[in-house]
Amino acid sequence: MAREDGEPFMHGCHRRGIVPRPMKTPGMIPPDPPPGRRLLREALALLACGVLIVLAIARLDPGLAAATLPREGLLGLVLLNALPALCLYALLVGLLRRALLPAWLVLLVLGGLFAANARKLAMLETPVLPADFRLFAEPGPAVALLAQYIHMDLLHWLALIGAAAFTVLLFLERRLALLARWRAPIVAVLAAGLLATLVAGSWPWNRLYNAHALGFQPWTLSQSSLRTGLVNSLLLYNWQVGTGDVPSGDRAAALAFLHRHGADLRAALDAGADAATLPDIVVVQSESLFDPARVNGVPEGRFLRQLDRLRKIATSGDMQVPTFVGGTIRTEFEVLTGAPLASLGGLQYPWLELARSDYPNLARLLGERGYTRTAIHPNAAAFWNRARTYPALGFEHFIDSSEFDQNRIVGLFLSDEAMTDRILEELVDEGPPQFLFAISMENHGPFDWRPNLDPERLAALPMPEKLDAGGRLWFGNYLYLLHDADHELGRLAGALRQRKRRSLLLFYGDHLPGLAPVYFQLGFKDGRDAREQPVPWLLLDTANPHPARLDTTSWLLPGLLLQAAGVHDDAWFSLLATLARDPEFDPDDADARSGIEALARLQLHGELAPVLEEAMASGRQDNGAGS
């Protein structure tokens, strides 16, 4: 461009010290702000994202949202819960050199965590625990089972697709100049170190997160997570009870318990050798089995008719279990080891959280007496870490879902009929005695949906009048599957009674089913809470069919089983059998509980024998002095 005198316009402007503004053209990228302003803007963005994460935790955590602490105390509790998320955010910022994308990813993690916690509380009345994440060490079986509890409609799918698209879009975010060159790796390394020491509970975190001050108690997990916040609860649980060994046994408490029970225990320990001919033993842990007649509006005898029939020729009763609507391995652990779950010092998932699996148990004991040992469970072997645990316990063969015909699914899971068929196939009439430990799967939750059930059978089920449509759906699905479990019990017992060889059948429920709407709408006839309700158990001896009533707890069952089998020479299980039949023994008594937990820990550590010898020697001396 030139003026009329021919001097170029731009040249004239520069000669006069005038710098004209550049002309804007469509699509032109705005110039970068000055470096100082850009760095300030990025720092403010990082700070805003951190504040957003803190606010999200305060809003999503049900304990923090409902907390009644003073403002200062509540702020401190929120910040303690937010600290791990902020460390994760710093790590992602260092790795990705972005502000918004890491914040979005952390928010997704938090949303998933709190959604899973809400679902687990609704279904199992237990918060998310560190061991829940260990299920995903073998992701296939975990995802297959947990997916049954997730129902995706069109809205949920659209939200999921939108979240994925937004995540991809955020990858277009400009990298942070604030973390150019060496700064990004330094931030990532520091954040990773903070996270690692935080998860491990190293100093100074173990002082900052004071369990006593925060009110964390591993034996009341739901209440503790509300008092401390979910993230705090996860950290403190991991530090206090995480993966480890059984706590040490209190020798003095164990001796005091043995002395209090005196003569009966010594008589049991001196009972003598095993029976000459040992029976075959079949144990069936029936998923979610309980007696619906305990619920208001359900008449006695309408359901569990086979169980009621067998009670006339077997020892049976009600049984307290250490878990509610889930956590099958808790009951499984007690029945196999004879040790109360409480003796583990707060651990909730034994096969996942214990550092070892080779503890004294039924399978090993029976193997030492010549039994073949087979476990049967129509679910994936890796679930609950059973693939590693069962061989360590002494089982020679583990038949999991891969050895079942997948066409024999009823509803969501492999049927009890298929499991009964497999039990009967494994039993033979020649050779050494056999121990079969079977865990059913058909009646596993959830019960709010169940595809492919017979609609005519469902419609014919009698329902309490007070149940609404939702409650009828849940209860109907459960009763349908319960009938199958009861029918297979009758079929198995009938087949065992036809065998030439003497057989023992131990049958019991592992916990109550997850029927929250039913429990809420109907309540229980005895007026107690659902968590206090027992499950049925039954022990049938095909060579000695006679009725007996005995209420018990699941950790006493193996003693009763071995006593019926004629195995008397194991001190621990003989002691359990004696306690189970002692009308004066109260497992809920504080002194009895502390003594039993001390003895169980000594047993699991292999340290019980010298304590028993000392107690028996002391008792004989006392008897000699008194004669």
Instruction: Please count the helices (runs of H) and the strands (runs of E) in the chain.
Output: 27, 11
- DSSP per-residue string spanning 74-99: HHHHHHHHHHHHHHHHHHHHHHH--S
Helix (H) or strand (E) holding 282: strand 280-286
Phi, psi torsion values for 354, nearest 5 degrees: -75, 140
Q: How confident is the model at residue 474 (pLDDT cuts 50, 70, 90)?
A: very high
Q: Is the peptide bond before 446 cis (omega within 30 degrees of 0)?
A: yes
Higher pLDDT, 566 or 10: 566
Per-residue pLDDT, 72: 66
d(CA 356, CA 347): 13
d(CA 63, CA 428): 56
d(CA 438, CA 293): 26
Do 253 and 598 contact (CB within 8 A), yes or no? yes
Which of these ranges, 68-82, 86-100, 379-393, 457-471, has the smallest mean pLDDT? 68-82
What average pLDDT does range 605-612 have in this prediction?
A: 90
Do 339 and 555 contact (CB within 8 A), yes or no? yes
d(CA 583, CA 580): 8
Is 430 in a helix, a strand, or coil?
A: coil
Phi, psi torsion values for 225, nearest 5 degrees: -65, -30
Do 274 and 503 contact (CB within 8 A), yes or no? no
Per-residue pLDDT, 105: 96
| Residue with token string 């309408």 | 302
Q: Burial of 298 by CB count in 10 Å (0-12 exposed, 13-18 middle, 19+ buried)?
A: buried
Do 481 and 443 contact (CB within 8 A), yes or no? yes
| Residue with token string 């250490």 | 322
Q: How confident is the model at residue 4 (pLDDT cuts 50, 70, 90)?
A: very low
25-63 residues labelled b (16+ CB within 10 A) or e (exposed)? eeeeeeeeeeeeeeeeebeebbeebbeebbebbbebbbb
| 322-377 per-position pLDDT tens digit | 999 999 999 999 999 999 999 998 888 898 888 787 899 999 999 999 999 999 99
Mean pLDDT for the chain overall: 88
d(CA 110, CA 87): 13
SS3 for 516-572 is: HHHHHHHCECCCCCHHHCCEEEEEEECCCCCCEECCEEHHHHHHHHHHHHCCCCCHH
Which of these ranges, 248-257, 306-315, 530-539, has the smallest mean pLDDT? 248-257
| 536-585 per-position pLDDT tens digit | 999 999 999 999 999 999 999 999 999 999 998 888 999 999 999 999 89
For residue 10, pLDDT over 50 is answered with: no
Paired with 504 in beta bridges are 281, 541
Per-residue pLDDT, 408: 96
For residue 200, pLDDT over 90 is answered with: no
| 15-54 per-position pLDDT tens digit | 455 555 555 555 455 566 677 888 999 999 999 999 999 9
Domains in the chain with CATH codes: 37-240 (no CATH), 247-273+568-619 (no CATH), 277-561 (3.40.720.10)
Taken in order 484, 489, 491, 492, the sign of the CA dihedral is positive
| 492-526 per-position pLDDT tens digit | 999 999 999 999 999 999 999 999 999 999 999 99
Helix (H) or strand (E) holding 621: helix 608-626
Higher pLDDT, 520 or 124: 520
d(CA 220, CA 126): 9
d(CA 166, CA 178): 24
Chain-centre distance of CA 268, in angstroms?
A: 35
Per-residue pLDDT, 440: 98
Q: How confident is the model at residue 627 (pLDDT cuts 50, 70, 90)?
A: very low
For residue 180, pLDDT over 60 is answered with: yes
SS3 for 580-613 is: HCCCCCCCCCHHHHHHHHHHHHHHHCCCHHHHHH
Do 483 and 417 contact (CB within 8 A), yes or no? no
Count of all residues that appear for the chain in the document: 627
Chain-centre distance of CA 491, in angstroms?
A: 31
Do 550 and 506 contact (CB within 8 A), yes or no? no
| Residue with token string 């009644």 | 68
| Residue with token string 């476990």 | 375
Do 20 and 10 contact (CB within 8 A), yes or no? yes
Q: Burial of 590 by CB count in 10 Å (0-12 exposed, 13-18 middle, 19+ buried)?
A: exposed
Residue 190 is encoded by which pair of tokens?
A: 């520091």
Q: How confident is the model at residue 9 (pLDDT cuts 50, 70, 90)?
A: very low
Among 194, 214, 209, which residue's Cα sits nearest to residue 239?
209
Per-residue pLDDT, 64: 84
Residue 159 is encoded by which pair of tokens?
A: 């939200």
What DSSP state is assigned to residue 235? H
Helix (H) or strand (E) holding 275: none
For residue 174, pLDDT over 70 is answered with: yes
Q: Burial of 308 by CB count in 10 Å (0-12 exposed, 13-18 middle, 19+ buried)?
A: middle
| Residue with token string 């079969």 | 436
Q: Is the peptide bond before 432 cis (omega within 30 degrees of 0)?
A: no
Distances (CA, A) of 60 to 73, 115, 120: 18, 9, 15
Residue 11 is encoded by which pair of tokens?
A: 């040249």
Q: How confident is the model at residue 225 (pLDDT cuts 50, 70, 90)?
A: confident
- Which residue type is seen at 395? F
- DSSP per-residue string spanning 131-189: HHHHGGGSHHHHHHHHGGG----HHHHHHHHHHHHHHHHHTTSPPPGGGTTTHHHHHHH
Phi, psi torsion values for 314, nearest 5 degrees: -145, 165
Phi, psi torsion values for 258, nearest 5 degrees: -65, -40
- Taking the model in full, what pTM does it have? 0.82
Q: How confident is the model at residue 271 (pLDDT cuts 50, 70, 90)?
A: low
Q: Which residues, other chains included, contact 53 with Cβ-Cβ below 8 Å and sequence gap of 6+?
A: 82, 85, 86, 89, 103, 106, 107, 110
d(CA 475, CA 455): 14
